[in-house]
Chain A
C-alpha cells in the first residue's frame, strides 16, 4: 500500500510509492558532456570572458578582475531581473504587474575547472558560504529588495548550464516569493500553538528515530525528510536554532562546508554525479521594520534543501502539488549512510 505523507511545515502531501518503488541503486544517471576546459569563461585567467566582478575573495593588494581570486561573483549575462530603476506597481484589468527590478548574480565557487562542489575542500566551501553572506548583507542595504534566494543548478536537467565549472546563483527579489511565505507561515503557526520551533522539533525527532539520518556532525545534521518530494532529497539543518543564515559564525561556516562536502560527495559517488538543485532557505530581510512578525527569530530555522533530479515532474505533480516519490526516504538515507566518502 502506498503511503501518503504530509510535510509538517507547509502542508504539502507526497505519495511514497511502494508499488513503483525502485531500489536505491536503480537510479542511474547519464554523464553529459560540456564544452572543453579551454572554453570555460569561469576559470582563473579568463576574467575578461565574464562580466566585470561585483565581489571577490582575493588576497590583499590584488586588483579587481585579476586572476588571483578564490571565489568570484559576477552579474548574470542573462539576468531574470534588472538592477536599475524604481519599483513600479500597476494594475491591468484583473491583473497586477510590476517592473522586473532585482539582482541576479553568479557565484563562481573556485578558480580551477572543477565541476562538482563535493570535490572542493571543506575550507573552500566555507569560503563560498562567506561570499553568500557578504553578498546577502550587501543586497540587504538595497531597500527595494525583500528576499535573496541562493541556489545551485547542477547539471543540465536541473536547469544548469553546459559549462562544467562549479557555481551557484543569487537572485534578489522585490517581493517575498510564495514558497518562502508558505514556509514562514507554516513555521509561525506551529510556533503559535506549541511555542517551539518546528525545525528544532524535527531535528530532535530525527536524531531519536535515526532511520532518516544521513549524517550528523558537531553543529549540523543531514536528513532525508519524512515527506521527501524527490528520491534522495536531503536537508541540512544547523542544530543550533537560528532563523538567519547570515548570522552564523566562522566555526559554523566551516562546519557547514564540511557537511556540504560530505553530503554532495555521497550523492556524487553513490548516484554517479546526479543533476541536483540546492536551495538555501533563510529569513527574508527584516531591516527592523514593520511587516514582520516578532516571533520570526524564534519560529523559523534556516536550512539547505538538496534535491537530486532523477525523476521527471509530470502532469500529476503540476496539477496537484502532490509529489510521487518512488523511493522511501528511509531507504535513501540508509543508502547514503553506506556510501563511503
Chain B
C-alpha cells in the first residue's frame, strides 16, 4: 500500500510508493553532457559578462581580468532589474508591479568542467563565503525583502550555461513558497515554543534511518516528506534563521557536507543534473522569522513533473526517502 505523508511545515501531502519502490537504476534521466564552445565564464572571457561586482582573486590582479577563483557578475539576462523604485498598480482585476530586484551570477570556479565534487574543500569554502558576503551586501538595500540563492546544474535542471555557477536573486517581496514555509514554521513555534527544524533534526538523528551524512555543524538527510526521489536537505545543527549570518567556523563543515552529498549523489546517478536552493529568512523585517531555520534543499533531476503534480501540488515519490538514504549512505565518497 502506498503511503501518503504530510509535510509538517507547509501541509503538503506527498504519495510515497512503498510497494514497488524505484531503485537508482530504474530512473531514466537526461544525462548532463558538455557541449563546449565559447564560455563567458572561463578565464580570458571576462569582457563577455557584465562587469564584476565582487570576486575572490589573486593579489595584484585587476577586476574583469583572469586571476580570480570566484567571481560575481550581474546576470546578463536578468529576470529582475536593479534600477528604479517599486511601483505597484492595478489593472482591472489584476495586480502588477515593475520588476525591481537584483539578479547576480556567482561563478564558482574558473574550471569549466569542475562540479562541486571535483573542487577542493577550500575552493568550495571560498564560494560559500562569497554567497554570504553578497547576500549581506544585497540586504543593505531596503527595497529587497528576500534573497534567494539557487543553483541549476545541467540543462535538464534549467541551466542555460554549463560552466558551474550559482544565481542570487533579491526580490521586492517574500515569494509565496518561502512565505508558506516561514508561516508554517512560525505557527509551530507559536504553539510549542520550539523551532520545527530543530525538532526535525532531533527526530531524524534519533530513529529515522534517513540521515545520510553528519559532521560537526551540519546534518544531511532525506526528508520524511520528500517531493522528489533522492531529495536531500542539509541543515545547520545550531538554530539560525539567516544563512548569511552563518558563523565563519561553520563554513568548512558546510563545504565538506555539500561536497560529500553531491559526490554520493553522482556516484548513484552519473552525469546528473540537479538544483539546490538555500531557504532562508526574509531580510529587512518582512514576515515572521521566529522559529525559522535556514537550510539547503537539493533535488536531483531524475524525474519529470507531470499534470498531477501541477494540478494538485501533491508529489509522487517513487523511492521512499528511507530507501534513498540507504543507497546514499552506501554510495562512495
Contacts and interface: CB of A to CB of B under 8 A. Distances in A.
Interface residues of A, number: 72
B316 A80 contact: yes
A151 B84 CA distance: 42
Contacts of B311: 149, 151, 177, 179-180, 277, 279, 281
A98 B96 CA distance: 40
B177 A178 contact: no
A52 interface: no
B167 interface: yes
A83 to B, nearest CB: 11
Given A3-B96, A95-B6, A160-B306, A314 B157 contact: yes
Contacts of B167: 315-316
B23 interface: no
Residue among B12, B81, B313, B314 having the largest count of chain A Cβ atoms under 10 Å: B314
B256 interface: no
B175 A321 contact: yes
B312 A149 contact: yes
Contacts of B169: 316, 320
B176 A307 contact: no
B148 A2 contact: no
B313 A100 contact: no
A81 B177 CA distance: 26
Contacts of A95: 5-6, 8, 224-225
B151 interface: yes
B94 interface: yes
B99 A4 contact: yes
Contacts of B146: 320
Contacts of A313: 158, 305
Nearest to B1: A99
Contact of A2 (B99, B151, B225, B307): B99
B313 A324 contact: no
Contacts of B316: 80
A193 interface: no
A15 B75 CA distance: 15
Contacts of A158: 304, 306-307
Contact of A97 (B5, B79, B306): B5
Given A8-B93, A198-B93, A321-B177, A315 B310 contact: no
Contacts of B191: none
B4 interface: yes
Given A313-B305, A324-B79, A99 B2 contact: yes
A324 B80 CA distance: 10
A315 B99 contact: no
Given A159-B305, A319-B279, A100 B15 contact: yes
B13 A177 contact: yes
B203 interface: yes
Interface in A179-212: 179-180, 182, 198, 201-202, 205, 209
B93 A320 contact: no
B304 A156 contact: yes
Interface string A158-179: 1110000000010101110111
Contacts of A290: none
Given A11-B176, A95-B6, A320-B148, A159 B203 contact: no
Nearest to B96: A5
A322 B175 contact: yes
Contacts of A17: 77, 79, 99
B283 interface: no
B228 to A, nearest CB: 9
B310 A277 contact: yes
Interface string B233-270: 00000000000000000000000000000000000000
A315 B150 contact: yes
A326 to B, nearest CB: 9
26 contacts: A2-B80, A3-B98, A11-B176, A15-B99, A19-B81, A20-B77, A20-B79, A80-B15, A80-B308, A80-B316, A94-B199, A100-B16, A159-B307, A175-B13, A177-B13, A177-B312, A179-B313, A205-B92, A314-B159, A316-B152, A318-B177, A319-B177, A319-B277, A319-B297, A320-B171, A322-B171
Interface of A: 1-6, 8, 11-13, 15, 17, 19-20, 78, 80-82, 85, 92-101, 147, 149, 151-153, 156-160, 169, 171, 173-175, 177-180, 182, 198, 201-202, 205, 209, 226-227, 277-279, 281, 307, 312-316, 318-322, 324
Given A147-B312, A314-B157, A319-B277, 15 more contacts: A2-B99, A3-B97, A13-B173, A97-B4, A180-B313, A226-B91, A312-B157, A314-B150, A315-B157, A315-B276, A318-B277, A318-B299, A319-B297, A320-B146, A321-B176
